[in-house]
Chains A and B, each alone.
Chain A
Amino acid sequence: MATKPVQRPLSPHLGIYKWGPAMLVSILHRATGDGMALVGTFLVVAWLACAAAGPDAYAAFMGWFTQADGGLNPLGYLVGIGLTWSLFQHMASGVRHLFLDVGAGYELRVNRQGAVATIAFSAVATIAFWAFVLVGK
């Protein structure tokens, strides 16, 4: 009777889904949010604590991310650009979520455009922020 294994159709697995902007933005929202919650929190609090401890501790903290001439070192660029991009991406995606919360933007085309817009915004805002800080002032 039930001795032979039956080849049943499997439910669609993660591996056969084609990636779309909405899926990317969804997982980016979680990754950037929780990345900032851990790494961002640690660095901002360490920055404040070192500032409160005095000039020597503050200089030691900044020394991790800057070169002798005061410019950013590679770690400084990685952390600085990474955190600002994360913040802008999470911010844009979060605003998109507020629209989705009230039931707007679920039509396929609008939903896709909204997802793409958050990626475009975070890229443009990150470039604009660092252009201003590094060369605009």
Chain B
Amino acid sequence: MGSGSSIGRVRGLGSAKEGAHHWWNQRLTAGSNLLLTLWFLVSVALLPAYDWATVSAWLGSAWAAVPLALMLLSVLYHARLGLQVVIEDYAHAETRVVLMVLMHFFIVGAGAVALFSILKLAFTAGAIVP
């Protein structure tokens, strides 16, 4: 902190201008998670069986593939926000940076695999020969 004018001593020390961003996005995805995970629980419970033919036929429908992709995006973003808070609470210094990077690799990697898998099942419904 310099010894300049009173405004010069406090400038840059205040809000990062995005304090509410994390909080609001967590609430926003909480709402979308509520709707989408309830849809997922009901849909899975109502499936007649859990063998490959049933599950792949279910995800071959856009009515299942699109909400499931939305659920993964919403849940993974919400998970990323929650994991960030835990890392910030319990990890410090270099460990915090390393864990934060690994956490993002995990979330983005999981999202990529999930979306690819959903789209593959949706676009190749009935085309994969057992």
Contacts and interface: CB of A to CB of B under 8 A. Distances in A.
B110 A45 contact: yes
A48 interface: yes
A98 B45 CA distance: 27
Nearest to B119: A52
Interface in A37-53: 37-38, 41-42, 44-45, 48-49, 51-52
Given A51-B52, A52-B116, A101-B27, A129 B45 contact: yes
A58 B55 contact: yes
Contacts of A97: 30
Q: Is the interface of B mostly helix, strand, loop or mixed?
A: helix
Contacts, number: 80
Nearest to B107: A41
Nearest to B37: A87
Contacts of B73: none
B49 to A, nearest CB: 8
B110 A133 contact: no
Interface in B68-120: 72, 75-76, 79-80, 82-83, 86, 106-107, 110, 113-114, 116-118, 120
Interface stretch (A3-11, A15-23, A28-36, A110-118): A28-36
B34 interface: yes
Nearest to B38: A91
A51 B34 contact: no
Nearest to B76: A41
Contacts of B52: 51, 54-55, 58-59
Contacts of A33: 79, 82
B130 A55 contact: yes
Given A42-B110, A95-B34, A98-B30, A51 B59 contact: yes
B27 to A, nearest CB: 7
Interface of A: 30, 33-34, 36-38, 41-42, 44-45, 48-49, 51-52, 54-55, 58-59, 62, 84, 87, 91, 94-95, 97-98, 101, 129, 132-133, 137
Given A41-B110, A54-B128, A58-B56, 20 more contacts: A30-B86, A34-B82, A36-B79, A37-B79, A44-B72, A44-B114, A45-B72, A45-B110, A45-B113, A45-B117, A51-B55, A52-B118, A52-B120, A54-B130, A58-B52, A59-B52, A91-B34, A97-B30, A129-B41, A133-B45
